Amino acid sequence: MTHQKINIAIVGGGVGGLALALHLHERGVVCHVFEAVAEVRELGVGITLLPHAMRELAALGIQPELEAAGIENYESAFFNRHGQFIYSELRGRHAGYALPEVGIHRGKLHKILFDTAVKRLGADHVHTGYRFKSIAQNEDTATLTFSDPAGNTLPAVNCHVAIAADGVNSAVRRTFYPDEKMVFTGINTWRGVTRFKPILTGKTYMRIGSIETGKMVIYPIVDKVDDEGHQLVNWMAEIRMEGVTQNDWNQAGKVEDVLKLFADWKFDWLDVTQLIANAESLLEYPMVDKDPIDQWTFGRVTFLGDAAHPMYPRGSNGSAQALIDARTLADELAKFTEDQDPLPALLRYENVRRPLANKVVQTNRTSPPDFINIKVDELTQGKPFRHIDDVISQEELRKISDDYKKIAGFSLEALKQG
């Protein structure tokens, strides 16, 4: 592509960028995607597609593929660090939603989106091996420069509009916020995938413990991976520790680092130490986000997904918010013909999405989805209880759960209203 003038350039071929490309294509708007990696492979660990994320993906026509590649959650269950039951609720279709809640390998979700984009837009519109270097703009054009995997500069790309969908470490965002830092509050996480026998229903999403003394989030992502009926079980361990330094990104984790934090987690219904010790893959991440910003749009450039609102990886809300961004922005851009100035579309998109997404960032910090566990820990000082009803009523726990769903945008009422 030599100095070709294109209408819309999407920098980043992750979940948000690919969803935007598919939405734009469906609305007859021509776009190009520029992804830094040379080859898209199935990397990463698990992700949960909540009903509001699934609504967005269903609109792209890929729900059947996603359901086939993952496991539909039946329930969400909460336990304290002693393995004692606190609360559970049905999820997705089982809770009356029109759409399922699905646990899936993040790499499978990404590959389905990528393959669908290549098929629908054409391979000449989905460019890999394009690492963003710089952006310049004038009155009617934004010019993007990229380098290839070897570091060579590629021919410049001119466009009417550039969308930064290049993730939590967005290089495009750094152009406009050069001094910005990640916010790290002493919480590190480890994400593992283990071949394991089905736990509880085999379709249960579990949260055990809380971040101050150690927390595990556990759910299956692939069913029947062998003749013995094992599943691939995704787990995430997180803990806040005084004086710790921030983990690197996507670094291979050490099993012994995690095991020592959860050494006594052997319950009659699950041996957590065995789950950790048998991990087939283990990555470590810092639990970081960025403070919400009051401007996403700079001339012909706007941010989307994690590039716009990096949030704690809790409750699978980052991907859901990116998918909602993608549809909202596509709807706005589709209102403009190529000979019109599309800049008002960028501002309208930002005005709709920024306040809502920023609120989710703040809520994920202060009242995360595991607030139920934090509350019970406070009431019991982290000690075992005789029965949860002695500590707090199920009605109060249900209210905590429902309040989070409202803020995150996936309450049953919100989705019924469409």
User: What pLDDT score does 1 carry?
Assistant: 40
Backbone angles phi, psi at 278, to 5 degrees: -95, 15
pLDDT digits (tens, 9 = 90+) for 37-61: 877 765 667 888 988 899 999 999 9
**Confidence check: pLDDT of 316 > 90:** no
Dihedral, 312, 18, 331, 314 alpha carbons, nearest 10: -10
User: What pLDDT score does 408 carry?
Assistant: 65
**Confidence check: pLDDT of 359 > 60:** yes
pLDDT digits (tens, 9 = 90+) for 279-313: 988 888 777 778 888 999 999 999 999 999 887 76
**Confidence check: pLDDT of 126 > 60:** yes
pLDDT mean over 262-267 = 95
User: What pLDDT score does 311 carry?
Assistant: 77
Which range is least confidently modeled, 36-45, 113-122, 178-187, 324-333?
36-45
**How long is the chain?**
418
**Confidence check: pLDDT of 12 > 90:** yes
User: What pLDDT score does 59 carry?
Assistant: 95
User: What pLDDT score does 296 carry?
Assistant: 96
**Confidence check: pLDDT of 364 > 80:** no
Band of pLDDT at residue 13, cut at 50, 70 and 90? very high
Q: What are the structural domains, with CATH classification, of the chain?
A: 5-46+106-180+293-365 (3.50.50.60), 71-90+184-290+368-384 (3.30.9.30)
**Confidence check: pLDDT of 248 > 70:** no
Find all residues with CB under 8 Å of 315, minimum gap 6, and list them.
50, 364, 368, 369, 404, 408
Cα–Cα distance measured from residue 189 to residue 241, given in angstroms and rounded to the nearest whole number? 11
User: What pLDDT score does 42 carry?
Assistant: 59
**Confidence check: pLDDT of 418 > 60:** no
Band of pLDDT at residue 36, cut at 50, 70 and 90? confident
Positive or negative torsion for Cα 24, 161, 155, 308: negative
Give the pTM: 0.89
Alpha helices (runs of H) in 122-207, residue ranges in sequence order: 171-176
Band of pLDDT at residue 326, cut at 50, 70 and 90? very high
Cα–Cα distance measured from residue 337 to residue 29, given in angstroms and rounded to the nearest whole number? 9
Do 240 and 211 contact (CB within 8 A), yes or no? yes
Band of pLDDT at residue 249, cut at 50, 70 and 90? low
Band of pLDDT at residue 227, cut at 50, 70 and 90? very high
Cα–Cα distance measured from residue 21 to residue 121, given in angstroms and rounded to the nearest whole number? 8
Which range is least confidently modeled, 140-149, 224-233, 334-343?
334-343
User: What pLDDT score does 2 carry?
Assistant: 39
E strand map for 80-151: 85-90, 102-105, 126-128, 131-137, 142-147
Band of pLDDT at residue 246, cut at 50, 70 and 90? low
**Burial class of residue 72 in the structure, from the number of CB atoms within 10 Å of its CB (0-12 exposed, 13-18 middle, 19+ buried):** middle
User: What pLDDT score does 345 carry?
Assistant: 92
User: What pLDDT score does 200 carry?
Assistant: 96
Find all residues with CB under 8 Å of 224, minimum gap 6, and list them.
230, 231
pLDDT mean over 23-41 = 88
**What is the residue whose two structure tokens read 């979940």?**
15
User: What pLDDT score does 3 carry?
Assistant: 40
Question: Which helix H or strand E contains 405, and what residues bound it?
Answer: helix 394-408
* Average pLDDT value for the chain: 88
pLDDT mean over 167-174 = 90
- As a whole-number percent, the residues of the chain with pLDDT over 70 amount to 90
